[in-house]
Structure 1
Amino acid sequence: MYRFDKIVLSFGFAVVLSVLLFAVPAIALPMSGKDFFNLGVTAMQRGDYPDAIDNFTEAIDIDANLGAAYSNRCLAYLQLGNYDLAAEDCSQALRLNPRSTEAYLNRGLAWYRLGDYQAAKLDYNELLKIKPYDFRAYYNRGLADFALGEYQEAIADYNHSLLQSGPLDRAQFAEIYNDRGLAHLMLKNFPVAISDFDLAIRFNSGDARGYFNRGCACLYSGNYIMALRDFNQVLALTPNDGQAYFYRGLVRYQIGSQYAAMADLQKAAECFCNQGVTIAYQKTLQLIRQILSSDSAIG
């Protein structure tokens, strides 16, 4: 970004003063840190994160104590996947304002993205000391709990998030119910998990994630017909979903439709290959070979 420097003009003495007054252009004043900060906010709103970072950096260069510039630059770095830089900016924002709940929230997300789930939880704990009713902190801490395999703790945090959430849009409610359902699924509480996925679908019927999760819960609980229905719905919404083909193939194999199962697994392998998901592709090929070997041995 460019700063406007004061322009020094010189004029000949022959110029009449009255003419000089009209001829002199308006002198641009230097932009302040807050001016650049506001430009950064505008860039964030239109989704231009590199430009936002440039403007927040200009703001910080002018006023190194502008904590909001660090917090907002952190958000831009998060959007671009620069999680180390995001964490650094939030740490600086917290040095300037130790009670900045947004800085704790955003740094927690940066730690989460970096895989440091314990550090993320510590930041959410600090946030909740300052703002005990922040549903975002409970929800994000639940995600960190889940990543650590602490499924009961995750469920408790998702419950708090729902209690404190107030008026959320339907998609946000669907996210929370989906994630709580996954925690119940990991604990093999299949009926409770299915109930949560039902709620997620009710709040956002166009989101394939709810159908996929419910399909998995139905598969693991032995309800193959319901699982088949849900995976069909996933593929109606997202036709190139390799995981949905894979799990539908498993369902079809369980109910004795070997030909349809093989077709689904081959389609899953194709999707994984095209999407560069190497491990899933290799595991799918391995399963296909096992099935073919098993069928050959039986024959």
Structure 2
Amino acid sequence: MAPKRPRSASEWKQAGNESFRHGQYGQAAGFYTEAINSVQKSGSKNPEELSILYSNRAACYLKDGACAECIKDCSVALDLIPFAIKPLLRRAAAHEALERYQLAYIDYKTVLQVDCSLQAAHDGVNRMTKALIEKDGLEWRKKLPSIPSVPVSKQKRWELTPENNSVDTGAKRNHPSGDQNGVLPLRKVPTEGEIQQAKALKEEGNEWVKKKNYKKAIDKYNESLKFNNQECAAYTNRALCYLSLKQPREAVKDCTEALMLDAKNVKAFYRRAQAFKELKDYTSSIADIKRLLEVEPNNTAAQKLFQEVQKMLK
């Protein structure tokens, strides 16, 4: 006797999750469609449930290369739950695959407003920046559509595993930071006491830098940022340590954090350019140097680095 087919929305969804895990993306998409139909027929008023199902089906479409269908489903999911991370990331990836670099850039940047720690979004922004510079030149930013402003109330995520290649089961999970509700640590305004503690720890880190003990300096900057994560200098100083320890990827992350706080931070541009140079991403390195020189045209260190990187690019 043939096994009984799942009938409820939750059963269809579970079947979709199982198929997805086994790489059967077309079958999984069909199961999610059944789940969507079941929810809609039941008249459920739970937008989160439907949003997850559309987002999961979008993941199937993305895996199968049906990027236009993925974009449609992600847009529906985002209409239901605005600024949800997974559909934003999946839509960005689909736009990128279709070479719609401006739209991909906007989605990746929107994700970073929700959670500035997501490396997938940082990497996406860097790729799109490089692609847009190649396509539109240094004036590429002037051609961008406006980027949505994420309200503070939305700076959290309702799904806790934002990778593009995993579907959402809807189960509650512990956030890596230990927050049981899955609310992200936001850039809150620090108290005066926290500012002073952060400053003292940063100064200790600076002293270790002078002694060239970069690992201990990083420890101090880490502690400093726990008290005040709005201090650009702590990020750029830690980036200097990572560069000295030959960890350019970490330096790129810290410089990007600093630039999110101060879009014209010269040290962040310079050190990220150095990090990109170490990673042999010469195009991105040159782009950062040019942006630095727009802020400080007579910066001799940047001019020298520009010449070095240009030689390597050629």
Same fold, TM-score > 0.5, yes or no? no
Normalising by structure 1, what TM-score?
0.44
Higher CA-based Rg: 1
Larger RCO (alpha carbons 8 Å, 6+ apart): 2
Structure 2 length-normalised TM: 0.42
More helix by share: 1
